[in-house]
């Protein structure tokens, strides 16, 4: 890994562990094994480095979601695969957790990738549900955008339930609950 | 308000604003307008005071939920009233947010009221859904416990979406989405 790469990865790890306010330029350099000169050669400072780190995290979340959501299968199958994907549930969502960092939320540049990622995810799920309606798999009365918002919320809230209970089971139960609700709107294929 | 009461309220406000690690005994005393002697007369220290503060917050969340969930009406009406209740959405859930405080989650005594509150809420919603099934209002195939977990998750995740987008609308959309999904499992009353 280049020193630029190591600096971004160190900033990601520290943002996750200590939040923006708890992440000092010095701690990023130490973790990356890079000197101050190297850091300021690549980045204007902590803010630019944090932005690169947040953008990287957001890109990974999108790419991971896209893997299941663009796979072959019905809308319900793709959404099931996305929600059931293996996750480190007790750790939480790396992007969702940034919404709890007051310094990230108060900074429009740092907040932008968080906002865009959730907007993208909701839109992506809306398009999957739309395709399911168009293909006659899902009830036409279903509102794709509201349903997509509910699905993303279940995922984010599932992490909260898992942390509260100290077990990943509650995440799984919330996911099962919303999938069963959604299955009730599936249209049985004509025989 | 008694000085004991003021100390608990100050601890609640500071836990909310700065988290457990950022809340010092001195800052609680100053905000409460109480001396060190008064604080240690009523509480063994910051930990006991934080526990009283978290318990108070948890009790208020239960009482607020109970107001809508025990009101007259069908299961769907009671759940709708609960989800649509006026909330300071961009502020977030005072209990849910504690799951993001690493010091609270690492301490079994402080974590217990958080865990119990979510367990209570899921159980309370399960009983409302159960009653709805028994009354013939809801499809018997609906799993009440999983559905209850999904509803609580939508609420908690709705706060995340609202913070990410900077607007309460996304919370409302997630709530509309899950209510519409649930409505699809309602049984039309016999004419």
Model confidence pLDDT, tens digit, residues A149-181: 999 999 999 999 999 999 999 999 999 999 999
- Measure the CA–CA gap between A73 and A170, rounded to whole angstroms: 27
- Decide if A146 and B180 are in contact by the 8 Å CB cutoff: yes
Two structure tokens written together for A123: 């839109």
The per-residue pLDDT for range A36-76, each reduced to its tens digit, is 999 999 999 999 999 999 999 999 999 999 999 999 999 99
Query: What average pLDDT is seen over chain B?
Result: 94
Say whether the ipTM exceeds 0.95: no
Considering the domain B1-43 in this protein, what is its CATH number? 1.10.10.60
Least confident stretch, B16-20, B177-181, B187-191 = B187-191
Between chains, do B151 and A97 touch, taking CB under 8 Å as contact? no
Residue to test with chain A: of B91, B95, B120, B154, most A Cβ within 10 A: B154
Shortest CA gap A106–chain B (Å): 10
| d(C-alpha B183, C-alpha A182), whole Å | 11
**Structural contact between residues A71 and A117, judged by C-beta atoms closer than 8 angstroms:** no
- Confidence check: pLDDT of B41 > 70: yes
Helix, strand, or coil (residue B88): coil
| Mean of pLDDT values over B178-186 | 95
pLDDT value for B22 = 86
- How confident is the model over A110-136, as pLDDT tens digits? 999 999 999 999 999 999 999 999 999
Measure B2 CA to nearest chain A CA, in Å. Answer: 32
Given CB atoms, is A143 within the 8 Å cutoff of chain B? yes
CATH code for B57-183?
Answer: 1.10.357.10
Put simply, whether B108 touches A (Cβ < 8 Å) is no
Structure token pair of residue A41: 């050669």
CATH topology classification for A56-183: Tetracycline Repressor; domain 2 (1.10.357)
Sorting pLDDT into bands at 50, 70 and 90, what band is A18?
confident
Q: What is the pLDDT of residue B190?
A: 59
Q: Which residues contact A154 (CB under 8 A, 6 or more apart)?
A: A83, A174, A175, A177, A178, B150, B153, B154, B157, B178
**pLDDT for B191 beyond 60:** no
Extents of the domains making up chain A: 1-43, 56-183
Measured CA to CA, the distance from residue A155 to residue A133 in angstroms comes to 22
B186 forms beta bridges with: B138
Residues 6+ apart with CB under 8 A from B135: B74, B75
Nearest to A162, CA basis, from A112, A93, A75: A93
Would you call A142 an interface residue with chain B, using a CB distance cutoff of 8 Å? yes
A178 touches chain B (CB under 8 A): yes
Q: Strands (DSSP E) along B6-74, which ranges? A: none
Cβ separation B166–A115 shorter than 8 A: yes
């Amino acid at each position: 890994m280049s020193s630029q790469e190591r600096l971004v990865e160190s900033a990601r790890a520290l943002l996750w562990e200590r939040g923006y306010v708890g992440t000092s330029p010095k701690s990023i350099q130490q973790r990356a094994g890079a000197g101050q000169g190297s850091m300021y050669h690549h980045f204007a400072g902590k803010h630019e480095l944090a932005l690169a780190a947040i953008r990287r995290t957001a890109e990974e979340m999108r790419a991971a979601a896209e893997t299941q959501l663009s796979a072959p299968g019905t809308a319900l199958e793709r959404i099931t695969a996305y929600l059931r994907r293996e996750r480190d549930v007790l750790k939480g969502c790396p992007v969702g957790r940034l919404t709890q960092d007051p310094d990230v939320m108060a900074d429009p540049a740092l907040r932008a990738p968080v906002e865009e990622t959730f907007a993208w995810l909701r839109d992506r799920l809306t398009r999957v549900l739309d395709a399911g309606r168009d293909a006659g798999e899902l009830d036409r009365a279903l509102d794709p955008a509201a349903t997509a918002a509910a699905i993303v919320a279940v995922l984010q809230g599932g992490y909260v339930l898992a942390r509260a209970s100290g077990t990943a089971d509650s995440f799984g139960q919330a996911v099962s609950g919303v999938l069963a609700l959604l299955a009730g709107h599936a249209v049985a294929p004509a025989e």
